Chain A
Amino acid sequence: MADSHGHTVKSFDEDIGQLRAIISQMGGLCEVQIAAAVDALVSRNIEAAEQIVRDDARIDALEMEAEALAVRIIALRAPLADDLREIIAALKMANVLERIGDYAKNIAKRAYAVSQAQPIGPVVIVPEMARAVVGMIRDVLDAYVDRDAALAATVCERDRWVDDFYNSLFRSLLTFMMENPHYITPSTHLLFVAKNLERIGDHATSIAEMVHYAVTGERMAERTKGDDSALFARSIYAIPNTDAPPLKGSPPKGYPAKAPPEEDD
Chain B
Amino acid sequence: MNTNNAPPPVGSNQPPKMTARGVNVFYGAKQAIKNVSLDVRADEVTAFIGPSGCGKSTFLRCFNRMNDTVDSARVEGEIKLDETDIYAASMDVVQLRARVGMVFQKPNPFPKSIYENIAYGPRIHGLAANKTDMDGIVEGSLRRAGLWEEVKDRLGESGTAMSGGQQQRLCIARAIAVDPEVILMDEPCSALDPIATARIEELIDDLRGKYAIIIVTHNMQQAARVSQKTAFFHLGTMVEYGDTSTIFTNPSEGRTKDYITGRYG
Interface positions of A (Cβ within 8 A of B): 3, 5-9, 12, 77-85, 217-218
Contact = CB atoms under 8 A, between A and B. Distances in A.
B260 A81 contact: yes
Interface in B212-265: 220-221, 224, 248-251, 256-258, 260-265
A7 B260 CA distance: 10
Contacts of A77: 262
B249 A5 contact: no
A8 B263 contact: yes
10 contacts: A6-B263, A9-B262, A12-B262, A78-B220, A78-B221, A79-B261, A80-B249, A81-B251, A84-B248, A85-B249
Given A81-B248, A81-B251, A7 B261 contact: yes
Contacts of A217: 249-250
A205 to B, nearest CB: 22
Contact of A81 (B257, B264, B265): B257
Q: Is the interface of A mostly helix, strand, loop or mixed?
A: loop
A9 B219 CA distance: 16
Main DSSP-derived SS at the B contact region: helix
Instruction: Name the 9 nearest CB pairs between A and B, nearest first.
Output: A217-B250, A80-B260, A83-B261, A81-B257, A7-B262, A80-B248, A81-B261, A7-B263, A8-B262
Given A85-B250, A217-B249, A80 B263 contact: no
Contacts of B265: 5, 8
Q: For this complex, into which size category does the number of interface residues on chain B fall?
A: 10 to 19
Interface in B162-183: none
Given A78-B221, A80-B248, 9 more contacts: A5-B265, A8-B264, A8-B265, A80-B224, A81-B251, A81-B256, A81-B260, A82-B257, A85-B249
Contacts of B258: 3, 5
A217 B265 CA distance: 23
A8 B265 CA distance: 8
A5 B250 contact: no
Contacts of A79: 261
Nearest to A13: B263
Interface string B114-138: 0000000000000000000000000
B238 to A, nearest CB: 18
Contacts of A83: 261
Contacts of B263: 3, 5-8
